[in-house]
């Protein structure tokens, strides 16, 4: 069993990461679990820049292997927003029910039938020798008119991903198979045997 520190304090995200990685005998622990009181400023302009900022900051502190992801929701009729600002969309203190409502209203104000959107994810893995590896995942879908389902987290209840179901209506297995994070993590997992040899 390999233990890797994940640059996240989001329990929903950590659960999802661990669910996918357990098949590869890897357990991820959070910064909170390791009692690392670091505040990481995500001021990059892209998902990749933010993922690298998180991974490099954590690796500098721990000196060991770390994993970080940055992900977000990109709505085509909004020019790709909220994008890298997904978690902060509507303000740090706004809960996701209000964020989703705001997003639906903003799309309706565009006066378009285009509700297409995608979730994007960039995973960065830094090994003990400070070598960096970057993996990408994307899940296409569309924004629903109202939240449905009680699974997942974040914008999952508003993102229609498969067979007319939102991410929050899918089982964990169904979600992991098609999700942006699942795709990026599987690419990392497939590359790990070679990475470990280096």
Which residue is catalytic, options 70, 95, 163, 176?
70
Q: Looking at residue 78, what is its pLDDT? A: 97
Closest CA to 185 of 33, 46, 13: 13
Is the pLDDT at 106 greater than 90? The verdict is: yes
pTM above threshold 0.85: yes
Higher pLDDT pick, 40 / 157: 157
Is residue 59 within 8 A of residue 69, CB to CB? The reply is no
Q: Looking at residue 48, what is its pLDDT? A: 96
Q: Looking at residue 52, what is its pLDDT? A: 96
Token digits of residue 140: 């296409």
Higher pLDDT pick, 114 / 3: 114
At residue 70, the 3 state secondary structure works out as: strand
Q: Looking at residue 2, what is its pLDDT? A: 80
- Helix H, strand E, coil C: the string for 143-189 is ECCCCCCCCCCCCHHHEEEECCEEHHHCCHHHHHHHCHHHHHHHHHH
Is the pLDDT at 133 greater than 90? The verdict is: yes
Percentage above 90 pLDDT, the chain: 59
Is the pLDDT at 108 greater than 90? The verdict is: yes
Please provide the average confidence, as pLDDT, over all residues in the chain: 90
What is the average pLDDT across 142-167? 93
Cis bond upstream, residue 82 (ω within 30): yes
Q: Decide if 176 is catalytic.
A: no
Is residue 154 within 8 A of residue 79, CB to CB? The reply is no
Q: Looking at residue 194, what is its pLDDT? A: 83
At residue 133, the 3 state secondary structure works out as: strand
> Beta strands 26-30 and 2-6: pairing type?
parallel
Q: Looking at residue 22, what is its pLDDT? A: 84
Is the pLDDT at 39 greater than 80? The verdict is: no
pLDDT band at 189 (very low <50, low <70, confident <90, very high): confident
């Amino acid at each position: 069993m390999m233990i890797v520190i994940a640059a996240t304090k989001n329990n929903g995200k950590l659960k999802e990461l661990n669910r996918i990685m357990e098949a590869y005998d890897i357990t991820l622990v959070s910064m909170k679990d390791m009692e690392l009181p670091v505040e990481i400023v995500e001021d990059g302009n892209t998902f990749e820049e933010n993922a690298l900022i998180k991974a490099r900051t954590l690796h500098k502190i721990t000196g060991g292997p770390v994993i970080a992801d940055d992900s977000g929701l990109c709505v085509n009729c909004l020019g790709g927003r909220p994008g890298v600002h997904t978690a902060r969309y509507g303000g740090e203190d706004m809960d996701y029910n209000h964020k989703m409502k705001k997003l639906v209203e903003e799309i309706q104000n565009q006066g378009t039938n285009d509700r297409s959107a995608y979730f994007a994810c960039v995973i960065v893995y830094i090994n003990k020798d400070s070598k960096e590896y970057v993996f990408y995942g994307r899940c296409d879908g569309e924004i629903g008119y109202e939240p449905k389902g009680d699974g997942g987290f974040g914008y999952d209840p508003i993102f229609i991903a498969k067979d007319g179901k939102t991410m929050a209506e899918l089982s964990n297995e169904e979600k992991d198979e098609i999700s942006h994070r699942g795709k990026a993590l599987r690419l990392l997992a497939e590359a790990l045997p070679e990475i470990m040899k280096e």
